[in-house]
Amino acid sequence: MLLFTPGPTPVPQNVRNAMSDETMHHRTPEFEAIFEKTRKHLFNLFGSDEVVMLASSGTGAMEAAVVNLCHNTLLNVNSGKFGERFGKIAIAHGLKNVEIKNEWDTPVSVDEVVEAIKSNPDIDAIAVQISESAGGLRHPVEAIAKAVKEINPNIMIIADGITAVGVEKIDITNIDCLIAGSQKALMLPPGLAILGLSNAGIEKIGKGRGYYFNLATEIKSQRKNTTAWTAATTLTIGLLEILETIEKNGGLDKLYEETATRADAVISALQAIGLHIYPKTPALSMTTIDDENASQIRKILKTDFGVNVAGGQDHLEGKIFRINQMGLIAPYEISWVVNSVELALAKLGRRDYDGTANKIFNEKYFKLASK
């Protein structure tokens, strides 16, 4: 079965091998050496002033960011389940919350955010997804961050990059907290979250808030190549392995280029067979199709062609399907996926199969890759 959901993504065999070794105790010089190497790679990946690893899902990192960086009012951008989650976290911790809500195919505009900031002077942090995976859209986070900092440089910018880190190069100039999760572009099992922090963010954190998710406590420990609480040892070993693999395969720039090329080629291939791209500004992390036969297409892909893609949630359940573009994906695998989608349409009597999707994908992909 080919796993093409936008998280979890397939774990490469060499990473599985690395994680299958004997369990290592986290309070040892051996693990501290691995932790130190991993941190160095993460600084290269994030480009931030500090990085922190947490033994949690991405939601844990979202909560840590909100609790430590927002002390009054959070502005969250809700264009999907994960943007909505930021607001729920704020309310759960007794923080005030202002929300900008759009349909799941619609990115927030810079003007909407600026207006909200000017109308609510108590806002001291903004939380927004770079790639909102509920509908597969890309928010203009860098432009938003720049505009907000020009109004008030003390407002913290929290950017959820769980489906963006490792997908594309992110301009972190005005971002105070960038969040990643292990099970997306980093191609690991779920359970490890990472935050990249700015110096301004570290200053705002101060002594930190909360207990397990107190970022001040973790920063102090992780600068010594250990963790405040029990480290996710096996996942950290896997993270080091995948970061070294990316480096051996040509580095981050090559990974970003291949991801963008693949995403572009898949969109062209699926549009060529009459399918519609759901988000108005598609993210590179996934290709999202809205279609009246979305559920049937997913079922045929899985049962007939061994391809598992994701569906929609809430009001989009049964209305969209999402194809992963994150990680190290061989061209023949994604070619099989787009070809299978065309075959599924033929099985549904929607169009005669003539290989158009595969043809367009390969023409586009290899033309772009050769530049």
What pTM did the predictor assign?
0.97
| C-alpha span between 265 and 260 (Å, rounded) | 9
CATH 3.40.640.10 assigned to domain 12-248? The reply is yes
Query: Do the beta carbons of residue 343 and residue 358 sit within 8 Å?
Result: no
| C-alpha span between 262 and 285 (Å, rounded) | 10
Helix, strand, coil % (nearest 5) of the chain?
A: 45, 15, 40
* Residue whose C-alpha is closest to residue 155's, from 185, 176, 194, 124: 124
- Taking the domains of the chain in order of start, what are their residue ranges? 12-248, 252-369
Best CATH choice for the domain 252-369 from the list 3.40.50.1100, 3.40.50.300, 3.40.50.2300, 3.90.1150.10: 3.90.1150.10
Q: Residue 371: what pLDDT?
A: 67
How many other C-beta atoms are found inside a 10 Å radius of the C-beta of residue 227?
Answer: 23
Written as tens digits, the pLDDT of the chain (371 aa) is: 999 999 999 999 999 999 999 889 999 999 999 999 999 999 999 999 999 999 999 999 999 999 999 999 999 999 999 999 999 999 999 999 999 999 999 999 999 999 999 999 999 999 999 999 999 999 999 999 999 999 999 999 999 999 999 999 999 999 999 999 999 999 999 999 999 999 999 999 999 999 999 999 999 999 999 999 999 999 999 999 999 999 999 999 999 999 999 999 999 999 999 999 999 999 999 999 999 999 999 999 999 999 999 999 999 999 999 999 999 999 999 999 999 999 999 999 999 999 999 999 999 999 877 76
- Structure-block tokens of residue 31: 């693990």
Helix and strand tally (H, E) in the chain? Answer: 13, 14
Strand 320-324 and strand 286-290: the pairing is: antiparallel
Cα-Cα-Cα-Cα dihedral sign, residues 82, 264, 182, 191: positive
Check whether the bond before 8 is cis (ω within 30° of 0). yes
How distant, in Å, are the alpha carbons of 50, 290, 308, 364 from that of 334?
35, 19, 12, 13
| C-alpha span between 221 and 235 (Å, rounded) | 18
Q: Residue 368: what pLDDT?
A: 72
Q: Which amino acid is at 162?
A: I
| C-alpha span between 133 and 191 (Å, rounded) | 18
For residue 157, how far is the Cα from the chain centroid? 16
First to last CA, the chain: 32
